[in-house]
């Protein structure tokens, strides 16, 4: 079985694949000072809840946008699963796509993994929107090549910044307001954040399509993707596990290469 690890700025997602089937999926908050043993003990306990043992894991693949945590994740794999993990971005790990940028090494691993998965499952020119700590918009051409994109502050980050910078503005929950015109401070904040984000999505998608020169399929992923997918017609597909599926595809590609 494959253990796929997606280490983001806010959470680390661990998922166990048995072929195409996800046998277990768990999240831990991202802390760079958390040791390999702390993660290992936590993960061993969770494996047992799905009737899995450490011996069931034969391979591991990691994508991380937090460089400081990669060493401990590698140590976790070696110490608890007895294997050397594949790490997206390391030399020798083939993604199967071209990164058409001036400085391809600067692209976050999660964005490239999303591009791999989106091309596999949807084809055609694509825009992948990932609602994470940052909201990223990534363009993938019809051949699966990564063409670049845009990065905006995530909605939770925007809410926190608004609360921190304005003394009289409270923290508010994210939700879809029924009205755009708020009749009090909290509804006005909710409207500005939510409908402002919808406007951001629709505006960037429109401009990207115009610049690319073609209509593009828009795929949304990330924790808040369902909320926004219901609120704008520009989002065509919802893929909550896109990054994990991309890790599975990259692992398979590189495993085939090693056997060839």
Place of tokens 């140590």: 75
User: Could you read off the pLDDT of 122-136 as tens digits, one per residue?
Assistant: 988 999 999 988 999
Structural domains of the chain ordered from first start:
1-86 (3.30.420.40), 102-244 (3.30.420.40)
The response to whether 109 counts as a known ligand-binding position is yes
DSSP string, 147-202: EEEEEEE-HHHHHHHHHHH-TTPPP------S-SS-SSHHHHHHHHHHHHHHHHHH
Catalytic residue numbers read 110
pLDDT at residue 110, rounded to an integer: 93
With contact defined as beta carbons under 8 Å apart, do 113 and 88 qualify? yes
Q: How many CB atoms lie within 10 A of CB 183?
A: 9
- Known binding residue 234? Answer is no
Q: What is the mean pLDDT of the chain?
A: 91
Q: What is the pLDDT of residue 88?
A: 95
Could you give the C-alpha distances from 26 to 101, 190, 249, in angstroms and in order? 33, 30, 20
CB 38 within 8 A of CB 52: no
23 known member of a binding site: no
- The reply, when asked if residue 12 is annotated as ligand binding, is yes
pLDDT digits (tens, 9 = 90+) for 64-96: 999 999 999 999 999 999 999 999 999 889 999
Residues of the chain whose pLDDT is less than 50? none
Q: Say which residues have a Cβ less than 8 Å from residue 224's Cβ, sequence separation at least 6.
A: 131, 155, 174
- From the list 34, 108, 112, 47, the residue with the least C-alpha distance to 73 is 34
Please report the pLDDT score of residue 4 as a whole number. Answer: 97
- pLDDT for 156 equals 81
Residue 10 assigned as binding residue: yes
């Amino acid at each position: 079985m494959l253990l796929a690890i997606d280490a983001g700025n806010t959470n680390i997602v661990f998922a166990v694949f048995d072929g195409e089937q996800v046998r277990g999926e768990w999240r831990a908050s991202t802390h760079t000072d958390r040791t390999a043993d702390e993660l290992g003990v936590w993960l061993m306990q969770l494996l047992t809840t799905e009737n899995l043992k450490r011996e069931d894991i034969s391979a591991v693949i990691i994508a991380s946008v937090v460089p400081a945590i990669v060493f401990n994740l590698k140590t976790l794999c070696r110490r608890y699963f007895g294997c050397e993990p594949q790490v997206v971005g390391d030399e020798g790990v083939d993604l199967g796509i071209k990164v058409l940028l001036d400085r391809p090494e600067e692209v976050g691993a999660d964005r490239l993994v999303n591009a791999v998965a989106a091309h596999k499952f949807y084809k055609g020119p694509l825009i992948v929107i990932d609602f994470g700590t940052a909201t990223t918009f990534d363009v993938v051409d019809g051949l699966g090549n990564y063409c670049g994109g845009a990065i905006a502050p995530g909605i939770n980050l925007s809410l926190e910044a608004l609360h921190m910078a304005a003394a009289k503005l409270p923290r508010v929950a994210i939700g879809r307001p029924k009205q755009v015109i708020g009749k009090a401070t909290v509804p006005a904040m909710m409207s500005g954040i939510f409908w402002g984000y919808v406007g951001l999505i629709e505006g960037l998608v429109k401009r990207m399509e115009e610049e690319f020169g073609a209509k593009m399929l828009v795929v949304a992923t990330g924790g808040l993707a369902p909320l926004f997918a219901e609120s704008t017609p520009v989002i065509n597909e919802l893929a909550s596990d896109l990054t994990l599926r991309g890790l599975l595809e990259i692992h398979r590609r590189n495993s085939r290469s090693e056997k060839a």
